[in-house]
């Protein structure tokens, strides 16, 4: 981005990651959220729900006519093939998804996904016409060793495709060290990391990097959403457990209402 040029206006995104939760009865949470959003005079952010793949088609239909987009939680790098149990980006698109999360900390930890794996999945998402939400974040050990920015910089370099644009790519920062440890990042902690991510994105992608959305994904709740969403370079949230209930998720979205 040229010196002195105004930063672009970025529409925030509040994304709910349901993880391995939800059955057909969970459609009532999406309809309940849609009703709440319809009653709001103004919703200043995009809203996304990423359910298990079994529910994408159902929830896409449930969200029809509302302000809610539907996404997937993971995809295979290949479009098709002998990959039992996997789902391609094309399949997610066909089911009604518009986004897909790749490189979530749980995928990196539980399935050994490397930056190269995440990059291949992001490329697959772009190939299929999906927006890739690329997750990065440091562990407790890495944070305590003072390696936060080094780790995240490496993940961004290895996980983002060279063709990434603000329309095709979202970055989500997850402080893995804050999950289940009782340790909570301060607004200053979040601001420092997001500023570093923005600098890295601008350095690599220029104006596109300046316009990319950077989500915060560390235990966002209705009680702390307004403070966290007000942090510079925080362009929304990646929400876990609090997105499972319409009332709680709407409480977070309300930071933009």
Residues belonging to the active site: 104, 174
Alpha helices for the chain (secondary structure H) = 27-39, 56-62, 89-95, 105-110, 115-128, 140-144, 148-159, 187-205, 207-211, 225-229, 246-253
CA atoms within 13 A on the CB side of 2: 3
DSSP string, 149-200: HHHHHHHHHHHS-TT--TTTEEEEE--GGGSSSS----HHHHHHHHHHHHHH
The phi and psi torsions of 154 (rounded to 5 degrees) equal: -65, -40
With a CB cutoff of 8 Å and minimum separation 6, the contacts of 251 are 221, 222, 225, 242
**Any idea which residue has 């990646």 for tokens?**
238
What are 85's two structure tokens? 């149990």
């Amino acid at each position: 981005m040229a010196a002195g040029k105004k930063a672009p206006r970025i529409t925030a995104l509040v994304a709910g990651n349901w993880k391995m939760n939800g059955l057909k009865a969970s459609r009532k949470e999406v309809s309940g959220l849609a009703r709440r959003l319809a009653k709001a005079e103004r919703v200043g952010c995009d809203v996304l729900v990423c359910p298990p793949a079994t529910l994408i088609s159902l929830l896409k239909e449930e969200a029809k006519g509302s302000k809610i987009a539907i996404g997937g939680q993971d995809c295979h790098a290949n479009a098709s093939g002998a990959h039992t149990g996997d789902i391609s980006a094309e399949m997610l698109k066909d089911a009604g998804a518009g986004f897909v999360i790749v490189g979530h900390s749980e995928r990196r930890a539980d399935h050994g996904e490397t930056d190269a794996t995440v990059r291949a999945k992001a490329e697959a998402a772009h190939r299929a016409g999906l927006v890739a939400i690329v997750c990065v974040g440091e562990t407790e050990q890495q944070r305590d060793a003072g390696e936060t920015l080094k780790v995240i910089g490496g993940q961004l370099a290895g996980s983002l495709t060279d063709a990434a644009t603000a329309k095709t790519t979202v970055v989500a920062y997850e402080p893995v060290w804050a999950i289940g440890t009782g340790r909570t990042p301060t607004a200053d902690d979040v601001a420092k990391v997001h500023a570093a991510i923005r600098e890295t994105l601008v350095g690599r992608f220029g104006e596109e990097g300046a316009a990319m959305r950077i989500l915060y994904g560390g235990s966002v709740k209705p009680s702390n959403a307004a403070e966290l969403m007000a942090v510079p370079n925080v362009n929304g949230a990646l929400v876990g457990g609090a997105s499972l209930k319409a009332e709680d998720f709407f409480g977070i979205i309300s930071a933009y209402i």
